[in-house]
Chain A
Amino acid sequence: MTADTITPAEADEPLRPSERASAGRTVGRAPGRGPIPLLVIKPPARWAPFRLKELWEFRDLVRRFAARDITLRYRQTALGVIWVVLQPLLAAGVFSFVFGQVAGFEETGIPYFVFAYAGMLGWNLVNSTLSKFSGSLLGNAGLVSKIFFPRLALPLSTLGSTLLDFLVSAAMMGVILAISGVAPGLAIVLLPVWMLLALLIAGGIGLMAGALTVKYRDVGYVMPVLTQILLYATPVAYSLARVPESAERWVKLNPLTGVMEGFRWSLLDVARPEAGALASSVIAAVVLFLAGATVFTRMERQFADVI
């Protein structure tokens, strides 16, 4: 029995006008009498709660979806799991060629490839969360319109493959650090904090975008462009110190600035992120995630009708 998963009926709950009319017609039934139903289905309230308990009940499903995504990615590929390692290396290679060799970016004391790879590590976490969260509902439209389950399970399950990628890339980071002789400082223990901030910021925006895409497909077209802009507006390929003074205020307002600087502080033992940039990150993380979750739960109820 899963009685605890479901909202029990409130016995003395006042009836809505429409219910009152119909309750009168049902012969011999007084509200609040008889056995208590396991579940009451009724029109949604204006502000729905997050229903985390329901999500917890469906944790097997979240795991299953995550496993499905990971398995599917490497099925019918010749190199299989090697791609997990190869992908970030290739990406960082291109990155350091374009920015390091062609554009001539330099960072004091650290080989540019190492600097770029550390930035990429953090950025990929943001990018992957953002794109997978926003695409997860539309990508499973068949399920959404045919089967009941907490809709949050879809975006949340994508964290599985995102985190797996992150772990593999992080392990590669360790190898790269060892080879290049760069040692991380004590700040390495704060790495989970930067990860959490990155996930909350990207997750919040992703939930909002994902929910909106169900109704307005435009959002799906806008997101890649926004992500691209965000990549260049965030100190990923460069450090905040290199930003000209005139633009510094704006870059610091970007909530991802503090996160990226934090990633590099932890990994490369470079300068500590500034308090202003950090504050902007923390506030944005909390606000964006709550806003994203609220938009998602409010729009969730009409997903099946409009998808």
Chain B
Amino acid sequence: MSSDVALRVSGLGKSYTIRHQDHDHVTLAQSALHRLRHPRSAQAKETFWALRDVDFEVPRGEVLGIIGRNGAGKSTLLKILSRITPPTTGRVEVFGRVGSLLEVGTGFHPELTGRENVYLNGSILGMKKSEIDKQFDAIVDFAGVEQFLDTPVKRYSSGMYVRLAFAVAAHLESDILIIDEVLSVGDAAFQKKSLDAMRDAAQGGRTVLLVSHQLPTVSVLADRVLLLDDGAAIAAGNPAEVISEYEGRARIAQQDDIDLGEMPRFVNVVRQPPVRLARLRFPYGPTLSERDELVIDIDVDAHQPCRASFGVGFNTPDHAPVGLAYSPALAFDSTGPHSVQLRLEPLQLVPGPYVVSLSVVDGLDQGMVMEFDGVAGAAWISIHADPRETLAWSRHWGARRLPAPEVRTAQVSLR
């Protein structure tokens, strides 16, 4: 029987109830009164899922980075794993002792001396007195605060304070270490020391769960990265891949109305284009399911009457081309600003972020393409899995989900 799993999370979810203002019972009396008056009424409340249906496993000795936007559910996940708050659904199986470091220095008391705080904080983190006794010198040495051990920590510099707090936590003897944004403390030298300590911990067979907004730190330390968005685990795997996906998503979230005017053009566009790209918008947003139509609004300036087709190209974030689609030729009968709406058939692409390029061309029907204008990397879109699809598409199966072949004939016969 192998014991190579340190942590197994299945179907984990956490919901909070948001009560609406008119039924907000801040006081006990209000709450009791409301119950008396409306004994059966369901309160006007909304359930908010901070975390939903998260599944993952962490093998022993792995450093798992957890990334995601603010509010994606990272802290909720860590709070459940460190038993501060219970989950609403699902379960977590933990194979080993968990030490969590959610905020350095929680439980430090400014009036107590360094020595007293080491013991207090150690006990709070779940260490026995004998363990702290054993580690005491190492902790003090790591923090470099020997001379100030009997000074109240309120007289410490903020650097010393944080170093001591981190040192206590880093010497916690646990099989699984949960760390939230703590590597950002101290000066450069101390950060390096902390990083080394983390790495040693992992090499010593400890499992580390690391939450950080500092992507470089995560990519250096983590063996694998889990990306959370809106409470769901949307990607897990190779740090570089997941981080680039996350960065793509971050960019997608920012774009609303994109000014193409100043963006660099394709090198081979004509000198004085009859039609030039000006702005781009996604009227239904840049995130869509693999079965949705993609709608793009493009503002253009026509400098002379002409005919032109619009090209929309897609690349993966690491620049691999995925596909290209051209519109039929459109007629620009007058000069001045025009707007064009392109409606693309469902793309059926693998869920993930894509880079969109735009171009304006002529001569498609003559087999000779003349590029009026073109912008590479004009915008980002994000495709997510369609809930109606029973089979989640994997990147390794190809960039596009092909339409299911129609079965023309089906015959079973004896051979």
Q: A residues near B, CB below 8 A?
A: 1-2, 9, 16, 18-19, 21-23, 25-26, 34-35, 37-44, 58, 60-61, 63-65, 68, 71-72, 75-76, 142-143, 145-149, 212, 216-219, 301-302, 304-305
- B contact residues around A60 at 8 Å (CB): 123, 127-129
CB pair A41–B87 under 8 Å, yes or no, is yes
A-facing mask of B111-138, CB < 8 A → 1, else 0? 1100010011001111111000000000
How many residues from B make CB contacts under 8 Å with A?
55
- A contact residues around B2 at 8 Å (CB): 34-35
A-facing mask of B81-111, CB < 8 A → 1, else 0? 1111111111111111110101100110101
CB pair B84–A39 under 8 Å, yes or no, is no
- Using known A-B contacts A35-B1, A58-B126, determine if residue A2 contacts B112 with beta carbons closer than 8 Å: no
B107 touches which one: A34, A37, A143 (CB < 8 A)?
A: A143
CB pair B27–A143 under 8 Å, yes or no, is no
A-facing mask of B195-221, CB < 8 A → 1, else 0? 000000000000000000000000000
A43 touches which one: B79, B88, B100, B129 (CB < 8 A)?
A: B88
- Using known A-B contacts A68-B109, A147-B100, determine if residue A22 contacts B90 with beta carbons closer than 8 Å: yes
Q: Tell me how far the C-beta of A99 lies from the nearest C-beta in chain B, rounded to whole angstroms.
A: 34
Q: Tell me how far the C-beta of A161 lies from the nearest C-beta in chain B, rounded to whole angstroms.
A: 15
Tally of A-B residue pairs with Cβ under 8 A? 140
- Using known A-B contacts A146-B102, A148-B82, determine if residue A39 contacts B129 with beta carbons closer than 8 Å: no
B10 touches which one: A19, A61, A68, A218 (CB < 8 A)?
A: A19
Q: How far is the CA of A44 from the CA of B85 in the complex (A)?
A: 10
Q: Tell me how far the C-beta of A223 lies from the nearest C-beta in chain B, rounded to whole angstroms.
A: 12
Interface check B13, CB cutoff 8 A: yes
CB pair A41–B112 under 8 Å, yes or no, is no
CB pair A41–B94 under 8 Å, yes or no, is yes
Q: How far is the CA of A2 from the CA of B175 in the complex (A)?
A: 11
A-facing mask of B336-350, CB < 8 A → 1, else 0? 000000000000000
- A contact residues around B112 at 8 Å (CB): 68, 71-72
Q: B residues near A, CB below 8 A?
A: 1-3, 5, 8, 10-11, 13, 16, 26-29, 31, 53, 55, 79-98, 100, 102-103, 106-107, 109, 111-112, 116, 119-120, 123-129, 152
- Using known A-B contacts A218-B27, A218-B29, determine if residue A147 contacts B94 with beta carbons closer than 8 Å: no
CB pair A38–B96 under 8 Å, yes or no, is yes
B111 touches which one: A34, A75, A302 (CB < 8 A)?
A: A75
CB pair B120–A304 under 8 Å, yes or no, is no
B109 touches which one: A34, A72, A149, A302 (CB < 8 A)?
A: A72
- B contact residues around A23 at 8 Å (CB): 10-11
- A contact residues around B3 at 8 Å (CB): 35
CB pair A147–B90 under 8 Å, yes or no, is no
CB pair A19–B84 under 8 Å, yes or no, is no
In the complex, 7 of the A-B residue pairs with CB atoms within 8 angstroms, ordered by the A residue number, are A35-B5, A41-B83, A41-B86, A71-B116, A147-B107, A217-B27, A301-B86
CB pair A41–B55 under 8 Å, yes or no, is no
Question: Which 6 A-B pairs rank lowest in CB-CB distance, beginning with the nearest?
Answer: A22-B11, A37-B93, A41-B92, A216-B28, A148-B83, A18-B89
Contacts A22-B10, A63-B123 given; 16 further ones with Cβ under 8 A? A19-B11, A37-B93, A41-B86, A42-B92, A43-B88, A61-B126, A71-B112, A75-B111, A75-B152, A145-B84, A146-B106, A147-B100, A147-B124, A148-B126, A212-B28, A304-B85
CB pair A148–B123 under 8 Å, yes or no, is no
CB pair A72–B94 under 8 Å, yes or no, is no
A42 touches which one: B90, B123, B127 (CB < 8 A)?
A: B90
CB pair A61–B124 under 8 Å, yes or no, is yes
- Using known A-B contacts A35-B1, A218-B28, determine if residue A44 contacts B86 with beta carbons closer than 8 Å: yes
Q: Tell me how far the C-beta of B407 lies from the nearest C-beta in chain A, rounded to whole angstroms.
A: 29
- Using known A-B contacts A147-B124, A148-B100, A304-B79, determine if residue A43 contacts B86 with beta carbons closer than 8 Å: yes
CB pair B103–A41 under 8 Å, yes or no, is no
CB pair A146–B29 under 8 Å, yes or no, is no
Q: How far is the CA of A72 from the CA of B120 in the complex (A)?
A: 13
Q: How far is the CA of A16 from the CA of B13 in the complex (A)?
A: 13
Q: How far is the CA of A131 from the CA of B90 in the complex (A)?
A: 38
Q: How far is the CA of A22 from the CA of B31 in the complex (A)?
A: 36
Q: How far is the CA of A72 from the CA of B112 in the complex (A)?
A: 7
B102 touches which one: A18, A43, A147, A212 (CB < 8 A)?
A: A147
CB pair B97–A38 under 8 Å, yes or no, is yes
CB pair B10–A26 under 8 Å, yes or no, is yes
- A contact residues around B89 at 8 Å (CB): 16, 18-19, 43
- Using known A-B contacts A60-B128, A147-B102, A301-B86, determine if residue A39 contacts B94 with beta carbons closer than 8 Å: yes
Q: How far is the CA of A2 from the CA of B83 in the complex (A)?
A: 16
Q: Tell me how far the C-beta of B230 lies from the nearest C-beta in chain A, rounded to whole angstroms.
A: 18
- B contact residues around A142 at 8 Å (CB): 106-107
Q: Tell me how far the C-beta of B154 lies from the nearest C-beta in chain A, rounded to whole angstroms.
A: 10
Q: Tell me how far the C-beta of A62 lies from the nearest C-beta in chain B, rounded to whole angstroms.
A: 9
